[in-house]
């Protein structure tokens, strides 16, 4: 998504990142990733629950798709690090238009399950850029 920031900005898209991690862990994530977007902390996981993002089962978290994603990252010099948080918390992607209508609601089935930036940009294009 970072590589497409220019396109997102040109279309007026605001990206927000939500985490359940707090304090030191959240600050370390922002510093380590040089996160260019605002980070919202949902320590009580209220937003996660509201969007149906529960806890993943062992195979969803540690299955073949996750190992493939880790291998792709490693090939590009980005080595996964040991997490100090709840690795079983599922994440997802939500696109909300200016009227508050959810245009995309994707709950990941594991860490490797995310829609591509191209598919998100396609939704943006099909909505006439109103997301």
Residue 92 falls inside a structural domain:
yes
Name every residue whose Cβ is closer than 8 Å to that of residue 55 and which is 6 or more positions away in sequence.
Answer: 86, 88, 89, 90
Average pLDDT over residues 7-33: 88
Q: Which of 14-18, 42-46, 78-82, 117-121 has the lowest mean pLDDT?
A: 78-82
Per residue in 102-118, pLDDT (tens digit) is 888 999 887 778 898 88
Which one has a higher pLDDT value, 81 or 78?
78
CA distance 11 to 2: 15
Residue 79 falls inside a structural domain:
yes
> What mean pLDDT is reported for the chain?
83
Average pLDDT over residues 66-94: 75
CA distance 30 to 3: 17
pTM over 0.85: no
> What domain range is 35 assigned to?
2-126
Residue 54 falls inside a structural domain:
yes
Q: How many structural domains are present in the chain? A: 1
The domain spanning residue 28 has which CATH number?
3.40.30
Residue 16 falls inside a structural domain:
yes
Residue 131 falls inside a structural domain:
no
């Amino acid at each position: 998504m970072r590589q497409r920031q220019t396109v997102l900005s040109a279309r007026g898209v605001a990206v927000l990142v939500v985490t359940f991690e707090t304090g030191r862990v959240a600050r370390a994530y922002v510093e380590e990733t040089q996160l260019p977007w605002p980070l919202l902390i949902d320590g009580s996981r209220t937003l996660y629950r509201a969007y149906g993002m529960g806890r993943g089962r062992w195979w969803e978290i540690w299955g073949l798709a996750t190992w493939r994603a880790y291998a792709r990252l490693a090939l590009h010099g980005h080595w996964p690090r040991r997490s100090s948080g709840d690795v079983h918390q599922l994440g997802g992607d939500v696109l909300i238009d200016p009227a508050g209508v959810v245009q995309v609601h994707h709950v990941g089935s594991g860490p490797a399950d995310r829609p591509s930036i191209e598919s998100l940009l396609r939704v943006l294009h099909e909505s006439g850029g109103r997301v």
